[in-house]
């Protein structure tokens, strides 16, 4: 996959593109990320890329000519062009999945008070990463690149993207734990120590439902619960354990205490 980022501030990407999973994905050839400095396409002697808003108003507006020239320098028939702006449609996991299947993604970062509105005619979609105004699209583009690249085959282990939040029909990911088993009196849940995979899977799904009900009930608005899930919800409400959890805990009772010593 290739991603071209059109920006006035390419220097903002230096650490981002050289670190962690993004840096590794670039060096492994999983993704090619190209930075295009919009200012390089200004025909103006002073390399000006903005001007006053026509009709009055505060701030400066990005001019069309350098933007369109920069876009044309990278656009091909296979390009999908995204303009970042707080007025765009909300970005979410589903969009990240969609972008990860594109051959060429072009991301255009706005700046200053905005972009000449006519530029919207040159793009496929306008996207916002949330209901707040950033000083420019650069941070938003990093959010998009990060969330897309980690979905590309080979970027991270496949299992990491299977169970995570938003992949199982809009459930948040279940809580996870690592060592030590007890820290400042706080223990990891006993069921995770039983070694019973069926019981652990059941518990994980129930915790994912519990967390989603508590934190993001909006994600569950159109969800139709199946029989097992309804049973889990009842157990969440009553605090009762399922037979499978009880059996796993009973069988492990002999050795569970050893973990906590
Ligand atoms: N540019 C400024 N604010 C933005 C936002 N919330 N999302 C995307 N691009 C932006």
Over residues 210-220, the mean pLDDT reads: 96
Best residue among 107, 109, 136, 145 to mutate for probing ligand 1, ranked by most atoms within 8 Å of CB: 136
Q: Provide φ and ψ at 258, rounded to 5°.
A: -65, -35
pLDDT of residue 168: 66
Task: Please work out whether the CB of residue 145 comes within 6 Å of at least one atom of ligand 1.
Answer: no
Position 59 pLDDT exceeds 80? yes
- Token reading at 252: 């492990």
Confidence of residue 217 (pLDDT cuts 50, 70, 90): very high
Over residues 145-149, the mean pLDDT reads: 98
Cα(85) to ligand 1 centroid in Å equals: 4
Lowest mean pLDDT among 57-66, 81-90, 165-174, 176-185: 165-174
Task: Give first-to-last CA distance, the chain, whole Å.
Answer: 50
Helix (H) or strand (E) holding 80: strand 79-90
Instruction: Please state, in angstroms and rounded to a whole number, the distance separating the CA atoms of residues 86 and 107.
Output: 14
Instruction: Please state, in angstroms and rounded to a whole number, the distance separating the CA atoms of residues 38 and 58.
Output: 22
Task: Please work out whether the CB of residue 134 comes within 6 Å of at least one atom of ligand 1.
Answer: yes
- What's this model's pTM, rounded to 2 decimal places? 0.91
Q: Are 118 and 82 in contact (CB under 8 A)?
A: no
Over residues 147-175, the mean pLDDT reads: 87
Cα(234) to ligand 1 centroid in Å equals: 41
pLDDT of residue 162: 74
């Amino acid at each position: 996959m290739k991603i071209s980022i059109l920006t006035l501030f390419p220097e903002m990407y230096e650490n981002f593109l050289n670190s962690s999973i993004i840096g590794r994905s670039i060096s492994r050839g999983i993704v090619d990320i190209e930075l295009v400095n919009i200012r390089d396409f200004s025909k103006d002697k002073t390399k000006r890329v903005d001007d006053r808003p026509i009709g009055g108003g505060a701030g400066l507006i990005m001019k069309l000519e350098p933007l369109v020239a920069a876009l044309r320098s990278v656009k091909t028939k296979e390009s999908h062009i995204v303009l970042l702006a707080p007025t765009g449609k909300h970005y979410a996991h589903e969009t990240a999945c969609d972008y990860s299947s594109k051959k060429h993604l072009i991301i255009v970062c706005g700046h200053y008070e905005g972009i000449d509105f006519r530029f919207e005619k040159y793009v496929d979609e306008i996207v916002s990463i949330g209901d707040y105004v950033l000083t420019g699209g650069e941070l938003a583009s990093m959010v998009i690149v990060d969330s897309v690249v980690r979905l590309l085959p080979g970027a991270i282990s496949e299992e990491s993207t299977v169970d995570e939040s938003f992949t199982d029909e809009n459930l948040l990911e279940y809580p996870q734990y690592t060592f030590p088993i007890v820290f400042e009196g706080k223990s990891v849940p006993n069921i995770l120590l039983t070694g019973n995979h069926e019981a652990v899977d059941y518990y994980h799904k129930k915790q994912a439902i519990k967390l989603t009900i508590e934190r993001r009930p909006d994600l569950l608005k159109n969800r139709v619960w199946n029989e097992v899930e309804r049973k889990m919800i009842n157990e969440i409400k009553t605090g009762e354990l399922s037979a499978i959890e009880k059996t796993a805990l009973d069988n492990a009772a002999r050795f569970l205490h050893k973990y906590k010593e």
